[in-house]
Structure 1
Amino acid sequence: MSLRSRPTTASRAAVALTGLALAASLVGAPGAAATAVDRQRDGSEPLPGYTISNPPLEPLVVEGEPTRVRQGVREHAAYTIEVPQDWNGELVLWAHGYRGTGTVLTVDPPGFGLRQRLLEQGYAWAASSYARNGYDVRTGVLTTRDLAGYAARLLRRSEGERPERTYVTGVSMGGHVIGRSLEQYPRFYDGALPMCGVLGDHELFDYFLSYNLLAQDLADVDAYPVPADYQSEVVPQIKSELGLGGPIGAPITNPRGAQLRDLTTELSGGQRPGADVAFTVWKDFLFTLATPDDGGPLALNGGRLAQNLDTAYTPRTPVDVDATVERVAPSDPRLRRTRSLTAIPRIEGRPKVPVLTLHDLGDLFVPFSMEQVYAREAARRGQEDLLVQRAVRAAGHCEFTDAEVARAWDDLTTWVESRGLQARPAGDDVLTPAVLAEPTYGCEFTDPAGYAQPQRYPTRALYPRCPER
């Protein structure tokens, strides 16, 4: 890591405390006389209808010294910033995943042991709650960028300089936030580590739509648009017709149920290790992602963008579903086409800076195909040299060990710091079908220690152990 000389601990702490106090007086919460309207206007309170839960974060002790933690509200979003005493001059932003549709905004510290690792390596980190919940990538992009700028000013006041480099990492919907952020603010971030990320943007919602339309077609049930009783009445009928009632790991013996499994495998990335058993992990959950459009905002109705007009479905036996499945156009084609920063925006594969990704092979919530979409887009725009992708042999969503994430993080930062003088780190080929179908695919970057902790990594046991290296 690029550690540089710093003042003594005592003088550094005094400067930091003075800087934090100055920052609070200049850009912190308004005075007691400020009205509720004032606080809404300046962004120091959440948006109407939302509340914030951001309890004090206990500092960590790094090399015998406590870190410095600052928490507050900006642009209607809660934030946390943490700085080690021996700051290395670099900043990491954490982009959290989907929070559901509740009205409480919360902040996560970096997961997978990253918080501790970042601080021990000298990095400062910052994380935002975003200003809204729901699938609202726009607010994630904007509030994360605002927080990056604020943290840079705060660090400059307390440490005497702006961050030398700024990274962004995160999970799931946070991957969508990262992918769009790299294009919304070209080269503002110096490197990115999206994990289990929605890098295929709208195609995630196409996949959810296809799963439910295919299941309906195979069960000979007409349930589109999705009715209000879809979960309570229609889905049990579909599952009965297709023989999908078995537990995780149970083979699918109904021919049409097996066809839905194989169709899902193809839609989610193609034949790859663990695909059959991964389907049994996710088959029930995928039905819950079909809900009626309530006429509200796009962030709560992502299916508005979904379509399957150009989707080719295989296999086509015992039912030729490519000919029989209902075809659906996006109900809001303008939002599907726009390049504007919407709640569910496009990502075009223009990262401009090094990106290293992690993805579970059997994740069918945010499927492995998201990596393939992004790889194709990056290649189409001549950006493939800036992208490294790694597969992990698990069927959970974001089921990574601390060691897998640590290795990815260290490889990314070494790559970025080399400024092109060092070769790209190793990754997996995510596009060649024959490579993905190899029994050992994903072994290179899968931590074998995950097998020893089934409570933390419950789907690792669904995959055969890799050969010892």
Structure 2
Amino acid sequence: MRRLLSVALSFLLVFTATQPASADRGGQPLPGYTIANPPLAPATVGGRPTRVLQGVHSHAGYVIEVPPRWNGRLAMWAHGYRGTGKVLTVDTPSYGLRQQWLDEGYAWAASSYYSNAYDVRAGVTTTRELATLFGRLVQRPDKVFLAGVSMGGHVIARSLEQYPGFYAGALPMCGVVGDHELFDYFLSFHLAAQAVTGIRAHPFPADYQTAVVPRIRQALAGDDEQFRAVVAELSGGARPASDAAHVYWQDFLFGLVGASTSTNLAENPQLVASNLSTRYRPNSPVDVNGTVDRVRAANPVARATWALTEIPAVQGLPTAPVVSLHGIGDMFVPFKMEQHYRDDTARFGRTGLLVQRAIRTVDHCEFSPAEAGDAWRDLTTWVDRGKRPAGDDVRKTDDPRFGCRFSDRTATGGTRALFPAC
């Protein structure tokens, strides 16, 4: 029955996929936006310069780079959250991947997307349309891969479901592969703090950040043991350096949520957030589950739909091999995202297409070139030879050595010192 449902869902997604634009090439940004895409200097491969193409397509800025000896393959880079500004920019691939791809013979391309804010739909469609444009400007690639970070991970996970068969493999890093659950987590962080302290403030008042949050934080200053443990569970379970990660992230997380009257989903993702099914642990000394405010999604249609919206669902139906990297102490896009994605893929019998690797870092998207580069090589070898690479069991976070296996032991700086030596 599970297999039949999986096939049915795949069939549905194929025939409801948003197709790349053909009539309107979108040579200008959408009203209200401007594009900043300064000339990118070509890289050097084997003593020869690359070919760089830049322009506007599908209302988005883009960069394409092709090495002197192209292997016929294309890597698409999906950038993360940009904020709500109106200037569109294009990222070059991070962690040394740009040069690695070129040295290996891969071309790469990246889109600014046609909008900012939390607009995954923009990322999914413009990335796909840019890959099609590459075929017209250069040559149709033999295989197309995806790689990206943060919100770009959400773009990647949904792209694999939106366009089954188009992408050959994917490398999401620090990705929002748990879709709506990210915003549930932000909501629960605040509601759990209110329940533990007894300071209720939902719906969030206009002065929530200036008047209420300081009171909550003052109340927690004396004893936040239960709250820390609740947040650890919400973000992925007890794991190495979770206390240090809490200290590192708490200021930021307390500043994330507040009153908003916007009905624009991309600008106000709180509209899809809910904690109706969330179970908080530990549940003592304060009975959080019995006292916490339960919140329904303000936009239940957007939360329930399978359509490609600004914040779309990820069903757990990857259609190509995926190698996913995530910092275990990341509490902005928490490690819990990987557990959600693993559970989703298990529901449809797709875990064979998913390899996940835990990295011992706390900052968001904090990876070394070796960590990203090794994952990329393992992904492409998997695609080419069919040998699934090794990964971590993301459910076994309480092992003191969790995250050691794939972390770069030569990497220094950043937050790596917060972890005991492996």
Provide the TM-score with structure 1 as the length reference: 0.84
- 1:325-340 alignment to 2 at 5 Å? 325-340=292-307
> Aligned letter for 1:465?
A
Q: What secondary structure sits across from 2:130 in the alignment? A: helix
Q: Do the aligned residues in 2 keep the contact of 1:47 with 1:76 (CA within 8 Å)?
A: yes
Which residue of the partner structure matches residue 320 of structure 1?
A: 287
Structure 1 position 42, deviation (Å) = 4.3
Tell me how far apart the structure 2 counterparts of residues 291 and 416 of structure 1 sit (CA, whole Å): 44
Say whether residues 1:283 and 2:283 are aligned partners: no
Q: Do the aligned residues in 2 keep the contact of 1:293 with 1:304 (CA within 8 Å)?
A: no
Say whether residues 1:90 and 2:73 are aligned partners: yes
Which residue of the partner structure matches residue 266 of structure 1?
A: 233
> Any unmatched runs of 5+ in structure 2?
1-22
Q: Do the aligned residues in 2 keep the contact of 1:138 with 1:345 (CA within 8 Å)?
A: yes
Say whether residues 1:211 and 2:189 are aligned partners: yes
Which residue of the partner structure matches residue 450 of structure 1?
A: 411
Which residue of the partner structure matches residue 50 of structure 2?
A: 67
Which residue of the partner structure matches residue 156 of structure 2?
A: 178
Which residue of the partner structure matches residue 382 of structure 1?
A: 349
Superimposed CA distance per residue, residues 110-167 of structure 1 (whole angstroms, 9 cap, x where no aligned partner): 00000000000000000000000000000000000000110122222xxxxx211100
Which residue of the partner structure matches residue 363 of structure 2?
A: 396
Which residue of the partner structure matches residue 29 of structure 1?
A: none
Structure 1 position 227, deviation (Å) = 1.6
Which residue of the partner structure matches residue 50 of structure 1?
A: 33
> Among 321, 324, 338, which residue is 1:354 paired with?
321
Which residue of the partner structure matches residue 428 of structure 1?
A: 392
> Any unmatched runs of 5+ in structure 1?
1-37, 157-161, 244-253
- 1:153-168 alignment to 2 at 5 Å? 153-156=136-139, 162-168=140-146
Structure 1 position 296, deviation (Å) = 3.4
Which residue of the partner structure matches residue 406 of structure 1?
A: 373
Say whether residues 1:232 and 2:210 are aligned partners: yes
> Among 74, 81, 88, which residue is 1:105 paired with?
88
Q: How many pairs were matched up?
A: 400
Q: Aligned-pair RMSD on alpha carbons? A: 1.1
Q: Do the aligned residues in 2 keep the contact of 1:354 with 1:387 (CA within 8 Å)?
A: yes
> Aligned letter for 1:315?
P
Structure 1 position 382, deviation (Å) = 0.9
Superimposed CA distance per residue, residues 219-275 of structure 1 (whole angstroms, 9 cap, x where no aligned partner): 2212111122111111111111100xxxxxxxxxx33x1211100100111111111
Structure 1 position 293, deviation (Å) = 2.4
Tell me how far apart the structure 2 counterparts of residues 378 and 234 of structure 1 sit (CA, whole Å): 39
> Aligned letter for 2:420?
P
Q: What secondary structure sits across from 1:436 in the alignment? A: coil
Structure 1 position 75, deviation (Å) = 0.8
> Among 242, 255, 273, which residue is 1:306 paired with?
273
Superimposed CA distance per residue, residues 338-361 of structure 1 (whole angstroms, 9 cap, x where no aligned partner): 000000000011012100000000
**Rg bigger for which structure?**
1
Runs of 4+ that moved beyond 3 A = none
Superimposed CA distance per residue, residues 265-310 of structure 1 (whole angstroms, 9 cap, x where no aligned partner): 0011111111111000111111122122222310011011111111
Provide the TM-score with structure 2 as the length reference: 0.93
Say whether residues 1:145 and 2:123 are aligned partners: no
